[in-house]
């Protein structure tokens, strides 16, 4: 048990574009947006007074459980659902005031990828990618050239003549992404784009999205129910519950200080494996005199060997129960569960000491 | 041959086969076009679709249901004035066409509607999200994506049409039905009925085979 280093894996140059917020411009503004569905059981407030701003070049995540309204919300960003009230402005255009033709033009700049990919099975990969170009009236020679570029960009060389049914889920989503990028959009909307994929494929698709965000400066808005997705690629996150945005901010801040219960639940998805609570309860009951402490290390400040210092300076036994480091787009985030044993004064001294360091300390009690 | 089928006049049988094929082919083509059009109208004006229009939907569905419900042999008789106006005669293959098409198109229209309903809503949503116009959604998404079902639907309809031509034959349209009924049944020449039936069976099997082959080729799912 040597030093515990939690390295800041992620440099800020990897694009927290929104940090340069003085220069950056708002790309998407939602103002008091509301969507009411009429059902047999009366009106349902799917989206309730949501205000959001999303900046040029950022990856913005919206997380919530199913039924939270995130799917409706993202569909209002391209008017697949029209808001009951409020306004949605994308790239300077108030979408609900546009005429049919203007909206069709605007939609060519707001692409979308889907959980179930929604490819045309009757078309080959190439023809699927060419589809939005046909819609936009791009000439054939130009189309062929653009399709080649896109196939290369998403890493589908050699699969151009395959039909979607011959592809794996990850490859299908790559086609979906290529298709979405065909008309050089300003925004890419991701509707649970990785929810139908296995964890490994999910990671490769997420990496592709980050790459595209970096390479093309494309703004990405995604909805998901997996905190893992938010953690891995988003710069900022909004948490939705019952149609409302209950919490939002830079991903690392939300990880560090989740204020709502639902947000804490989501953060736990990433920091604590499910069995953690049980294991810790078990250990705590075996040694009732000991204290269990959760240390949270955040971003660039996670370097000091806090645990080693505690062992050197105090007469306590430190037992590491569980630790995990997660990387976010804004820097690393780690949590460590330790068990402290020793005289009460030594233990509280150790806790005080850790409190003065740049880590968050929480004494955990399980009844 | 002449011992086995003493009463069969092969040149007449050949001409009748030609008439049956002619009636079936023209009726299939017209049914495909009209049925596709009607089916699209039914689907698109339906609830939650591109041109949702309850009034138009109910009217179209009503007309389709009425013509689909009338037994074909009665439809022929009901359409006599219309046919006389259009063709000028009640005899010959052309005189059978109006009844064949009006009888089969609504039948096919329902199949088209079902085929279109099977198109993944997500794909239509994707096309909308890319800024497709309604015409582009119809011609680039709905029809291509439902093509295998459209083809297997027209296969079934074609076979029904072969049966209809036989019935039309009874009232003077010519063709194999005419041979089987007039020469075979009414003059008790069972060999003529037998040969006409076998030829109709061969036609039906051929249609089914061709339809299945095309459907299989088209279906990339």
Residue-range domain boundaries for chain B: 10-218
Q: Do B145 and A121 touch (CB under 8 A)?
A: yes
Of B120, B122, B131, the CB nearest to A104: B131
- d(C-alpha B172, C-alpha B73), whole Å: 12
Q: Residue A366's pLDDT is what?
A: 61
Q: What is the DSSP string of A176-191?
A: HHHHHHTT--SEEEEE
For residue A157, which phi and psi values (nearest 5 degrees)?
A: -55, 135
Q: Using an 8 Å CB-CB cutoff, list chain A residues near B221.
A: 121, 165
Q: Using an 8 Å CB-CB cutoff, list chain B residues near A108.
A: 130-131
Task: Report the gap between the CA of B47 and the closest CA in chain A (Å).
Answer: 15
- d(C-alpha B3, C-alpha A167), whole Å: 61
The distance in angstroms from the start CA to the end CA of chain A is 29
Q: Residue A105's pLDDT is what?
A: 93
C-alpha distances out from residue B38 to B52, B69, B113, Å: 15, 16, 8
Lookup: tokens for A70: 């995130």
Length of chain B: 221
Burial classification of residue A310, based on how many CB atoms lie within 10 Å of its CB (0-12 exposed, 13-18 middle, 19 or more buried): buried
Q: Do A120 and B129 touch (CB under 8 A)?
A: no
Of B130, B218, B221, the CB nearest to A135: B130
- d(C-alpha A89, C-alpha A77), whole Å: 8
Task: Report the gap between the CA of B130 and the closest CA in chain A (Å).
Answer: 5
Q: Using an 8 Å CB-CB cutoff, list chain A residues near B128.
A: 80, 107
Task: Report the gap between the CA of A131 and the closest CA in chain B (Å).
Answer: 9
Query: In chain A, which residue ranges form alpha helices assigned H by DSSP?
Result: 70-76, 100-107, 125-135, 140-153, 169-181, 199-216, 227-233, 251-256, 261-271, 276-286, 306-313, 344-356
Q: Residue A250's pLDDT is what?
A: 93
Would you list the domain boundaries of chain A? 26-269, 277-363
Q: Do B130 and A118 touch (CB under 8 A)?
A: no
C-alpha distances out from residue B48 to A32, B40, B53, B59, B160, Å: 27, 14, 9, 17, 32
Q: Do B128 and A80 touch (CB under 8 A)?
A: yes
For residue A348, which phi and psi values (nearest 5 degrees)?
A: -70, -35
CB atoms within 10 A of CB A363: 12
For residue A105, which phi and psi values (nearest 5 degrees)?
A: -65, -45
Q: Residue A23's pLDDT is what?
A: 47
Identify the closest residue of chain A to B132 by CA–CA distance: A135
pLDDT per residue of chain B (221 residues) written in tens, 0 to 9: 677 888 888 888 999 999 999 999 999 999 999 999 999 999 999 988 889 999 999 999 999 999 989 999 899 889 989 989 988 887 888 889 999 999 999 999 999 999 999 999 999 999 999 999 999 999 999 999 999 999 999 999 999 999 999 888 877 788 898 888 888 888 888 899 999 999 999 999 999 999 999 999 999 88
Check if A195 contacts B (Cβ < 8 Å). no
Task: Report the gap between the CA of A140 and the closest CA in chain B (Å).
Answer: 16
Identify the closest residue of chain A to B141 by CA–CA distance: A120
Q: Using an 8 Å CB-CB cutoff, list chain A residues near B131.
A: 103-108, 132, 135-136
Average pLDDT of adjacent 10-residue blocks, chain A of 367 residues: 40 41 73 93 92 95 93 95 94 92 94 96 96 96 96 94 96 96 95 93 95 94 94 94 94 87 87 72 80 79 72 88 80 83 87 83 73
Q: Residue A332's pLDDT is what?
A: 79
Task: Report the gap between the CA of B35 and the closest CA in chain A (Å).
Answer: 22
- d(C-alpha A329, C-alpha A251), whole Å: 8
Q: Do B144 and A122 touch (CB under 8 A)?
A: yes
Q: Which stretch of DSSP H or E encloses residue A5?
A: none
Q: Do B127 and A134 touch (CB under 8 A)?
A: no
Q: Per DSSP, what are the bridge partners of residue A111? A: A188
> Would you state the torsion angle of the CA atoms of residues B78, B82, B87, B92, taken in this order, to the nearest 10 degrees?
0
Q: Tell me, which fold does domain B10-218 have in CATH?
A: MetI-like fold (1.10.3720)
Q: Is residue B168 within 8 Å of B23, Cβ to Cβ?
A: yes
**B contact test, residue of A74, A79, A115, A121 with most B CBs within 10 A:** A121
Question: 3-state SS string over A42-93?
Answer: EEEEEEEEEEEEEECCCEEEEECCCCCCHHHHHHHCCCCCCCCEEEEEECCE
CATH class of A26-269: alpha beta
Query: Which residues have a Cβ under 8 Å from the Cβ of A15 and sit 6 or more positions away?
Result: A57, A213, A214, A235, A329
**B contact test, residue of A114, A135, A143, A178 with most B CBs within 10 A:** A135
Q: Using an 8 Å CB-CB cutoff, list chain A residues near B218.
A: 122
Query: Which residues have a Cβ under 8 Å from the Cβ of B64 and sit 6 or more positions away?
Result: B38, B42, B106, B109, B110
Q: Do A108 and B130 touch (CB under 8 A)?
A: yes
Mapped onto helix, strand or coil, the DSSP state of residue B174 is coil
Q: Do B120 and A78 touch (CB under 8 A)?
A: no
* Global ipTM: 0.86
Of A118, A163, A183, the CB nearest to B120: A118
Q: Tell me, which fold does domain A277-363 have in CATH?
A: Alpha-Beta Plaits (3.30.70)
Strand A236-241 relative to strand A59-63, pairing: parallel
Identify the closest residue of chain A to B147 by CA–CA distance: A122
C-alpha distances out from residue A335 to A130, A231, B77, B151, Å: 46, 14, 85, 60
Q: Is residue A177 within 8 Å of A208, Cβ to Cβ?
A: yes
CB atoms within 10 A of CB A59: 31
C-alpha distances out from residue A90 to A188, B7, B67, Å: 12, 81, 50
DSSP state, residue A165: G
């Amino acid at each position: 048990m040597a030093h515990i280093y939690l390295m800041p894996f992620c440099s800020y140059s990897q694009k927290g574009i929104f940090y340069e917020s003085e220069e950056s411009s708002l790309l998407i503004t939602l103002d008091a947006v509301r969507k009411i569905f009429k059902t047999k059981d009366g009106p349902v407030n799917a989206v309730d007074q949501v205000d959001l701003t999303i900046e040029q070049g950022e990856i913005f995540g919206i997380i919530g459980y199913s039924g939270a309204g995130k799917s409706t919300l993202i569909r209002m960003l391209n008017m697949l659902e029209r808001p009951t009230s409020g306004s949605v402005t994308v790239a300077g255009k108030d979408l609900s005031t546009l005429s049919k033709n203007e909206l069709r033009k605007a939609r060519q700049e707001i692409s979308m990828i889907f959980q179930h990919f929604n490819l045309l099975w009757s078309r080959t990969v190439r023809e699927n990618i060419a589809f939005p170009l046909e819609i936009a009236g791009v000439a054939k020679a130009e189309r062929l050239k653009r399709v080649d570029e896109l196939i290369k960009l998403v890493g589908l060389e050699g699969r151009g003549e395959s039909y979607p049914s011959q592809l794996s889920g990850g490859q299908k989503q790559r086609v979906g992404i290529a298709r979405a990028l065909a008309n050089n959009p300003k925004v890419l909307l991701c509707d649970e784009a990785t929810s139908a994929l296995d964890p490994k494929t999910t990671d490769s698709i997420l990496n592709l999205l980050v790459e595209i965000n970096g390479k093309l400066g494309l703004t990405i808005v995604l909805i998901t129910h997996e905190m893992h997705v938010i953690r891995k690629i988003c710069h900022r996150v909004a948490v939705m519950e019952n149609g409302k945005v209950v919490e939002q901010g830079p991903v690392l801040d939300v990880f560090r200080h989740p204020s709502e219960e639902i947000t804490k639940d989501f953060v736990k998805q990433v920091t604590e494996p499910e069995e953690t609570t049980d294991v810790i309860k078990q250990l705590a009951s075996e040694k009732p005199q000991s204290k269990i402490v959760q240390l949270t290390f955040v971003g660039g400040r996670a370097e000091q060997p806090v645990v080693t210092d505690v062992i050197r300076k105090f007469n306590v036994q430190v037992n590491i129960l569980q630790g995990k480091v997660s990387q976010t787009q804004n820097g690393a985030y780690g949590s460590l569960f330790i068990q402290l044993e020793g005289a009460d004064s030594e233990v509280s001294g150790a806790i005080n000491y850790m409190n003065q360091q740049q880590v968050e300390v929480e004494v955990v009690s399980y009844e | 041959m002449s011992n086995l089928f003493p009463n069969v006049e092969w040149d007449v049988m050949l001409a009748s086969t030609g008439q049956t094929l002619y009636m079936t082919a023209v009726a299939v083509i017209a049914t495909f076009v009209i049925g596709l059009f009607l089916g699209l109208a039914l689907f698109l004006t339906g609830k939650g679709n591109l041109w949702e229009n309850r009034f138009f939907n109910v009217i179209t569905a009503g007309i389709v249901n009425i013509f689909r419900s009338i037994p074909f042999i009665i439809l022929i008789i009901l359409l006599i004035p219309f046919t006389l106006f259009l063709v000028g005669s009640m005899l010959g293959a052309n005189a059978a066409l109006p009844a064949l098409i009006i009888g089969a198109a609504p039948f096919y229209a329902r199949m088209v509607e079902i085929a279109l309903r099977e198109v993944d809503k997500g794909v239509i949503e994707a096309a909308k999200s890319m800024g497709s116009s309604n015409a582009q959604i119809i011609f680039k998404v709905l029809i291509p994506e439902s093509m295998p079902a459209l083809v297997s639907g027209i296969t079934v309809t074609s076979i029904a049409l072969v049966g209809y031509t036989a019935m039309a034959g009874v009232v003077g349209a010519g063709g194999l039905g005419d041979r089987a009924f007039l020469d075979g049944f009414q003059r008790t020449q069972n060999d003529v009925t037998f040969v006409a039936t076998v030829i109709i069976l061969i036609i039906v099997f051929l249609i089914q085979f061709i339809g299945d082959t095309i459907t299989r080729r088209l279906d990339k799912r």
